[in-house]
Amino acid sequence: MNDTCYQRVENVPVSESQSVTRKASAQCDTCGKTFDKKSQLTRHLRVNTGLKPYPCSTCGKRFNQKSDLDLRVRTHTGEKKKSAQCDTCGKTFQNKSNLTTHLRIHTGEKPHCCNTCGKRFIQKSDLERHIRTHTGEKPYPCSICGKRFIQTSKLQRHIRSHTGEKPHCCNTCGKRFADSSGVINHMRVHTGEKPFSCNTCKKRFIQKSALKTHIRNHTGEKPYSCSICGKRFIQKSALKTHIRIHTGEKPHSCSICGKRFSQRTHLKKHMRIHNCEKFCCCTDTNQETNTFQNKRTRTAIKVNKTQTGIKAKSQH
């Protein structure tokens, strides 16, 4: 680590016979975040680079902090070294600071407040991430395509879109997902669980994000605005689709005739034309076959009648 991150401030007069040495904070060159200790900066840099120097000897999973590795090892050994317990739900924690944070879930305490919008948070780290939504800061870049992200977790999920890695698996149907939240939400499809309820109409949802979007139908909130024409939308996906009207982008292509569409729903409607053509063709062929068979049947009946008449005359 570069020792220039620390600066010695000398000859600061405290008294006539004294001077004081101060240690400036260490700063990350990537995102500008500052730290009191060199060890804190070292751990932070591992988040940016993705370096995970601590592997688990049992399962091979790697971690960027030794404390995280220790916790992982205990899941294999069954060792439980937890010193603080929640009196409300009985959950135990490694230290009292983690318990203190957890207790706020029960008490509803949110001591960290955003100075811009007033939204409050349980943890300081949550507030720091939220502030980036106001500043537009995205300190975590993708090393493959350069796209930047507010959170490391979102960067990690994004990287899997390049690698195709899907480490999380549904135990019921085997479907795989890039992140744990994806498999958790998917499991509710099997169980039918809908834990998120609308207070206005009581409609229930599998995902919290779906509930949040639904609530906007009641409030009329449309937070996503088109930068070209100003039209506003409830969902970000709707805005994305709308922008294609301006750009002319048509990402959805028909595999049969090659015609392109701006929306997947339009492609699905178009595909019915091809399906109808196949159906109509089969129907027409069947109708022609049936007509031919009917003609043969009528001809055979006439022949039989004629032969019967001839036999009758010959007998007389």
Q: Is 169 helix (H, G, I), strand (E, B) or coil?
A: strand
Tell me if 268 is assigned to some domain.
yes
- Stretch among 75-79, 204-208, 295-299 having the lowest mean pLDDT: 295-299
Tell me if 163 is assigned to some domain.
no
Distance between CA atoms of residues 257 and 109, nearest Å: 59
pLDDT for position 17: 35
A 10 A CB-CB count for 302 gives: 10
Q: What does pTM read for this prediction? A: 0.45
With contact defined as beta carbons under 8 Å apart, do 150 and 135 qualify?
Answer: no
> Which among 71-80, 88-97, 198-207 has the top mean pLDDT?
198-207
- Stretch among 80-84, 148-152, 164-168, 208-212 having the lowest mean pLDDT: 80-84
The CATH number covering residue 247 comes to 3.30.160.60
Is it the case that residue 86 has pLDDT exceeding 70? Answer: yes
Is it the case that residue 94 has pLDDT exceeding 90? Answer: no
Tell me if 218 is assigned to some domain.
yes
With contact defined as beta carbons under 8 Å apart, do 63 and 69 qualify?
Answer: yes
With contact defined as beta carbons under 8 Å apart, do 135 and 129 qualify?
Answer: no
| Each residue's pLDDT tens digit, 4-36 | 333 333 333 333 333 333 344 678 877 777 777
Tell me if 220 is assigned to some domain.
yes
pLDDT for position 204: 94
With contact defined as beta carbons under 8 Å apart, do 200 and 219 qualify?
Answer: no
DSSP string of 264-277? HHHHHHHHHHHHHH
- Stretch among 59-68, 124-133, 234-243, 278-287 having the lowest mean pLDDT: 278-287
Residue range(s) defining the domain that contains residue 206: 194-277
Tell me if 266 is assigned to some domain.
yes
Terminal Cα distance for the chain, rounded: 123
Amino acid at residue number 284: D
- Residues 6+ positions from 143 with CB-CB distance below 8 Å: 50
Tell me if 112 is assigned to some domain.
no
* Mean pLDDT confidence for 108-131: 91
What's the number of domains the chain is made of?
1
Tell me if 257 is assigned to some domain.
yes
Tell me if 227 is assigned to some domain.
yes
Is it the case that residue 288 has pLDDT exceeding 70? Answer: no
Task: Give the angle 301-304-310 at the CA atoms, nearest 5°.
Answer: 140
Is it the case that residue 295 has pLDDT exceeding 80? Answer: no
Distance between CA atoms of residues 268 and 272, nearest Å: 7
Nearest of 68, 67, 72, 46 to residue 57 by alpha carbon: 72
